[in-house]
């Protein structure tokens, strides 16, 4: 007899409590191996492929694509040990035990309770029942019944189906097996039950559409990355009394220094890496801005290391990957790490650990062709440096009017951690390094 094991949405780490189903990687009736990814989900942090710790035949999936499930909710059920859970080569499926695989802190393990069995008659290879007697007919012969709509809105258990042919027939024709009541032994769903459902569906009138156009516009749910961004920015606005200061800087010498670095034959240095190096040096001089406020303890916590977040726009929305220990990295290391994290962000492969733990954020909104902004602080950090586009402008240089490459820098800071003098000193030091990169030699 087959054991039907239920696999629940695991804890994905970083305090995440729910995930949205993006894409199912298996269908009902498919044979899965231990640790095979079965579904791709989107959390507020990243896209994750969830592996199943059991091997066998998928008997049920819970939730359609786009559905949000809480951690601990059922994902799929797998029939382990049944005759149909045999691979193409005739090899039996894996035993019903945990794989030992770890998914972001979640270790799969053997289930201790809640094992279910499919109490259905299993047919042999020649199509005959082994020894079980034929089912006793009802009082009078009746034609195959039409499918009965389920009373609850959502099923809570596995579908009593043994034959993969029945599953394929239902899947190919869009029949939800949960809505059928089987006429076979112990409620087993037979081919005739699926065919009867198809006949009823073909003769039933099309239901009237229940959707109506909203005269006020289209409603888009705030969920996934967009929902997480909305919640975090709203919290920042509620809790942080922020202020912004800005200054224009002549970036001509910084661009020349970068060009000189990139002609030496070594790996190319990105501009954002140089700006990150400047931020790390400025935070060493003004550590008040590398901190956060512990509201419960009413304390400002200054942090020893700089974990630099940077804003990255992706198809899924705005994300802020974090470069760990930015204060210990040189320009080459920073360039490589920025490139790696940016590529992972665009591909949706960032892990929750790569999206959390930042202490200061660098926001290069100049890539969007704008000069300035008053960004919202990435809660619970204390400050964010914004960098506008670098454009040629008239500028007084060495007493004469000249065309120089000018950039606007803005600093938004938490007024609880410092006053305007500290924020102004930080921003002025950053501007000095942009205008005269040799200033950085003091910190090397």
The C-alpha atoms of residue 169 and residue 177 are separated, in whole angstroms, by 10
Phi, psi of 13, rounded to the nearest 5 degrees: 85, 175
Residue from 215, 217, 154, 167 nearest 57 by CA: 167
Q: Is the Cβ–Cβ distance between 383 and 300 less than 8 Å? A: no
* Long-range residue pairs from 380-383, CB within 8 A, at least 24 positions apart, any chain: 380/292, 380/293, 381/292, 381/309, 381/414, 382/288, 382/289, 382/290, 382/291, 382/292, 382/293, 382/413, 382/414, 382/417, 382/418, 383/289, 383/411, 383/412, 383/413, 383/414, 383/417, 383/423, 383/426
Alpha helices in 286-440 (DSSP H): 331-347, 420-435
CA atoms within 13 A on the CB side of 382: 27
Classify the C-alpha dihedral 50-56-61-62 as positive or negative.
Answer: negative
According to DSSP, residue 105 is labeled T
Residue from 60, 89, 68, 73 nearest 11 by CA: 73
According to DSSP, residue 173 is labeled T
Residue from 271, 272, 274, 302 nearest 289 by CA: 302
Active site residues: 415
The C-alpha atoms of residue 298 and residue 301 are separated, in whole angstroms, by 10
């Amino acid at each position: 007899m087959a054991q039907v094991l239920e696999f629940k949405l695991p804890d994905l780490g970083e305090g995440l409590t729910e995930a949205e189903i993006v894409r199912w990687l298996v269908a009902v009736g498919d044979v899965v191996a231990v640790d095979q990814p079965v579904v791709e989900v989107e959390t507020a942090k990243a896209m994750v492929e969830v592996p199943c710790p059991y091997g066998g035949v998928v008997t049920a999936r819970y939730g359609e694509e786009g559905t949000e499930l809480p951690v601990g909710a059922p994902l799929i059920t797998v029939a382990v040990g049944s005759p149909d859970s045999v691979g193409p080569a005739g090899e039996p499926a894996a035993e019903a035990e945990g794989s030992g695989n770890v998914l972001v802190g979640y270790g799969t393990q053997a289930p201790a309770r809640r094992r279910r069995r499919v109490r259905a008659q299993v047919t042999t290879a020649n199509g005959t029942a082994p020894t079980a007697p034929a089912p006793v007919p009802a009082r009078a012969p009746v034609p195959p019944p039409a499918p009965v709509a389920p009373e609850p809105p959502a099923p809570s258990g596995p579908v009593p189906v043994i034959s993969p042919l029945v599953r394929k027939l239902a899947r190919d024709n869009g029949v939800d097996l949960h809505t059928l009541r089987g006429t076979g032994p112990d409620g087993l769903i037979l081919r005739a039950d699926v065919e009867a459902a198809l006949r009823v569906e073909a003769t039933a009138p099309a239901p009237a559409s229940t959707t109506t156009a909203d005269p006020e516009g289209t409603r888009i749910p705030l969920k996934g990355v967009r929902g997480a961004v909305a919640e975090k920015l709203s919290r920042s606005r509620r809790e942080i009394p922020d202020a912004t200061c800005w200054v224009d800087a002549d970036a001509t010498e910084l661009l020349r220094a970068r060009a000189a670095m990139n002609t030496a034959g070594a790996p190319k240095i990105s501009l954002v890496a140089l700006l990150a190096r400047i931020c790390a040096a400025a935070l060493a001089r003004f550590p008040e801005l590398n901190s956060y406020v512990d509201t419960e303890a009413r304390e400002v916590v200054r942090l020893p290391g700089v974990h630099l977040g940077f804003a990255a726009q992706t198809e899924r929305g705005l994300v802020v990957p974090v470069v760990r220990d930015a204060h210990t990295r040189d320009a080459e290391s920073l360039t490589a790490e920025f490139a790696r994290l940016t590529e992972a962000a665009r591909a949706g492969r960032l892990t929750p650990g790569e999206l959390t733990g930042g202490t200061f954020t660098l926001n290069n909104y100049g890539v969007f062709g704008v000069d300035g902004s008053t960004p919202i602080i990435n809660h619970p950090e204390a400050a964010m440096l914004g960098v506008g586009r670098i454009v040629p402008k008239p500028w007084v240089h060495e007493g004469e009017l000249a065309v120089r490459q000018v950039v606007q820098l803005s600093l938004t800071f938490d007024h609880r951690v410092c006053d305007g003098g500290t924020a102004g000193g930080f921003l002025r030091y950053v501007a000095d390094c942009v205008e005269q990169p040799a200033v950085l030699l003091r910190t090397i």
